[in-house]
Each structure stands twice: as structure tokens, then as C-alpha cells.
């Protein structure tokens, strides 16, 4: 008996589109909900810790998925799940920060450098140097000089692959040009700080 049709069916199951996963989720499929959670929870955490403490981000992510689970959906189509989740988490975290005065003073400094938990290969490609380990150290230090919004824009654009339009929606900005300016200024800051640190180490 030819099993090719059956195999094709299994492959089809494994390669559902995001819209198919979303439709299954809003129709009550717990497996689809688990898929969404498992696919995005680490990315959402990595994004959230750019402007809020870890425990706050964990709570916000829990709030987000509880909201998704409890909401009465009406067949809304989502072509890309990630921008929707990021935008929702951004809104939840902003609400938490506005309500808590201590969170407003949260700053990304040297003590919190480990919060930038991303592969820095993109930055290493920007500035050619034989000593990549030295670059990695310098670039992590450079990232602490960026504003939270600059770090968020860099992460969303270079690491998550979002478009300017998607980043504008996620970060609740008015224009795509605002995203472009954020990224441009962040890259300029990275280059300037990186160059200065490299000169200091070479002395």
C-alpha cells in the first residue's frame, strides 16, 4: 500500500500556516494554544526585559496568555501571530510601568547587561575585526548606552525580522519614519560608543 498520501498528511499537519494555527486556537484547540505559547514565549521574554525587570515581564506574559485564553474570539484572522503578541505585551508592560513608580525608574545599566540575551552576530558583521570575542564584550557594553526604545527597535528589526510598519504598531508609534529614526540613531550610537571603547582598550 502506498503511504505517500498519509506521509503528506503528516507533513501538512506539521507545517500549518500561522493563520491555520490561529483559527484552530480561537476554535478552542488547546494544542494550537500550546504551540503559540511554546513558539513565542522566549522571544516575548527577550523583548520584555529590554524595558522592565524579569519578574514583571514574566507576570506580563502570563497576563497576556491568560487574556488570550479567556477572551471570546469572533473569528479574527491573524496572518502573523508574532506582531499581535508583541503589541499586546508592549501594551501590558506599559500599563504596569505607568502604574508603578518604581518601574518608571528602572534603567538598563551595567548591572543588567545580561538582559540583552541575544546573539550579537548582526553587530559583529557591522564592524569587521579579527578579535570577535573583544567585539562581543564591547558591543554588549555599547548596548547599555541605548535607550529602551532604541534597544527594542533594534531587536524587533534585526533579530525578529519585523517590518517598519509592524514595529510602528508594536511600539505604538505614529509613523514608520519614527521607527527608521530610532534604528538609525541606535546604530549611530552603537558605532560611536564601540569606536570609543575600542580605542580605549587599544591604548
Q: Determine the pLDDT at residue 31.
A: 94
- What does the alpha-carbon distance between residue 103 and residue 98 come to, in Å, rounded to a whole number? 8
Contacts of 68-74 with CB under 8 Å at 24 or more apart are 68/25, 68/33, 68/36, 69/33, 73/26
Predicted structure pTM score: 0.69
- Is 112 part of a structural domain of the chain? yes
* Same domain assignment for residues 139 and 180: yes
CA angle 68, 73, 75 (to 5 degrees): 125
Q: Determine the pLDDT at residue 30.
A: 94
**Residue 53 near residue 106, CB atoms below 8 Å:** yes
Supply the range of the domain harboring residue 25: 15-106
Q: Determine the pLDDT at residue 85.
A: 95
> Of 55, 80, 106, which one is at a domain's C-terminal end?
106
List, for residues 70-109, the tens digit of each pLDDT value: 888 876 777 789 999 999 999 998 888 777 766 555 544 4
List, for residues 151-165, the tens digit of each pLDDT value: 888 888 888 889 999
* Same domain assignment for residues 112 and 203: yes
Residue ranges of the chain whose pLDDT lies below 50 = 1-13, 107-130
CATH assignment at residue 149: 1.10.10.10
Q: Determine the pLDDT at residue 120.
A: 43
Q: Which residues are CB-neighbours of 110 under 8 A, at least 6 positions away?
A: 141, 144
How far is residue 116 CA from its own chain's centroid?
A: 11
Q: Determine the pLDDT at residue 75.
A: 66
Amino acid at each position: 500500500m502506498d503511504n505517500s498520501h498519509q506521509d503528506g498528511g503528516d507533513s501538512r499537519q506539521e507545517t500549518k500556516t500561522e493563520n491555520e494555527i490561529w483559527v484552530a486556537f480561537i476554535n478552542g484547540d488547546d494544542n494550537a494554544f500550546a504551540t503559540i505559547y511554546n513558539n513565542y514565549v522566549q522571544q516575548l521574554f527577550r523583548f520584555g526585559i529590554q524595558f522592565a525587570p524579569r519578574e514583571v515581564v514574566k507576570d506580563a506574559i502570563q497576563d497576556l496568555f491568560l487574556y488570550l485564553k479567556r477572551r471570546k474570539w469572533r473569528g479574527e484572522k491573524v496572518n502573523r501571530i508574532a506582531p499581535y503578541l508583541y503589541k499586546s505585551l508592549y501594551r501590558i508592560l506599559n500599563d504596569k510601568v505607568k502604574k508603578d513608580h518604581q518601574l518608571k525608574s528602572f534603567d538598563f545599566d551595567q548591572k543588567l547587561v545580561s538582559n540583552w540575551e541575544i546573539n550579537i552576530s548582526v553587530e559583529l558583521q557591522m564592524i569587521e575585526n579579527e578579535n570577535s570575542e573583544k567585539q562581543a564584550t564591547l558591543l554588549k557594553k555599547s548596548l547599555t548606552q541605548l535607550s529602551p526604545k532604541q534597544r527594542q527597535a533594534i531587536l524587533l528589526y534585526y533579530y525578529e525580522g519585523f517590518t517598519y510598519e509592524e514595529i510602528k504598531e508594536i511600539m505604538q508609534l505614529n509613523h514608520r519614519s519614527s521607527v527608521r529614526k530610532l534604528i538609525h540613531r541606535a546604530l549611530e550610537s552603537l558605532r560611536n560608543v564601540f569606536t570609543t571603547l575600542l580605542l580605549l582598550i587599544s591604548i
